Amino acid sequence: MIRATALLMAASLALTACTGTGEQLGPDGKPLPKLYRISASDSGKIEQRVVEAVNSLRAVRGTAPVVLSPELNQAALIHSRDMALQNRPWHWGSDGSSPLDRAKRAGFAGAFLGENISETYETETETLSAWMNLADTRDVILNPEARYMGFAWFQESSGKIWWTMVTGK
């Protein structure tokens, strides 16, 4: 009887070890990313986290910090929504508008400097990191002339997020 119980326990442990973690694996054998869903309570925190991260990156370079501009935030939000409607990440609006046009329309009185965009399922931190890995988008973030920043996103029901960052002086 003890032998049967021991065999049953060993078999049970072996089966437990064989069960997966429930993670889905991609074709590369790595776990698929989890869907990043932005909640209403996260919305205000995201902008603050991004501007703090951007200012930390700028400080390492000895560059002055940027502050969030409500007008540039609005221009970024309009473009994030428009990219989702067009289903393509690019700098031109569906009405033919440029980033400069959108900043002016939103009431930004300063000079437009640059725009970064992204279509992803990743977090704002992962998106900022991806932008920092490319020279042209990194230059927008670290531009020493920049004093203002706008940052916004639009998340589709599928979870896809359209991120936009705009800088100005």
Q: CATH no. for residue 73?
A: 3.40.33.10
**Residue 65 counted as domain residue:** yes
Q: Do 108 and 75 touch, CB atoms closer than 8 A?
A: yes
**Residue 98 counted as domain residue:** no
Query: Measured between alpha carbons, how far is 149 from 140 in angstroms, rounded to an integer?
Result: 10
pLDDT for the residue numbered 107: 98
pLDDT digit string (tens) for 108-158? Answer: 999 999 999 999 888 999 999 999 999 999 999 999 999 999 999 999 998
**Residue 51 counted as domain residue:** yes
**Residue 130 counted as domain residue:** yes
**Residue 22 counted as domain residue:** no
∠ at Cα 116 (114, 121), nearest 5°?
170
User: In the chain, how many domains are there?
Assistant: 1
Q: Do 116 and 131 touch, CB atoms closer than 8 A?
A: yes
**Residue 126 counted as domain residue:** yes
**Residue 155 counted as domain residue:** yes
In which domain, by residue range, is 49 found? 40-87+110-168
DSSP state of 136: H
Query: Measured between alpha carbons, how far is 79 from 60 in angstroms, rounded to an integer?
Result: 30
**Residue 96 counted as domain residue:** no
pLDDT digit string (tens) for 41-92? Answer: 787 799 999 999 999 999 999 999 999 999 999 999 999 999 999 998 889 8
Kindly indicate the confidence band of residue 22, based on its pLDDT and cuts at 50, 70 and 90: low
Picking from 79, 27, 64, the residue whose alpha carbon sits closest to that of residue 143 is 64
Q: Do 122 and 85 touch, CB atoms closer than 8 A?
A: no
Query: Measured between alpha carbons, how far is 118 from 133 in angstroms, rounded to an integer?
Result: 13
Count Cα atoms within 13 angstroms, Cβ side, for 140.
23
Query: Measured between alpha carbons, how far is 141 from 123 in angstroms, rounded to an integer?
Result: 17
- 86-106 core/surface letters (b: 16 or more CB in 10 A; e: else): eeeeeeebeeebebbebbeeb
pLDDT for the residue numbered 24: 66
Instruction: Work out whether strand 67-68 and strand 148-155 pair parallel, antiparallel, or are unpaired.
Output: parallel
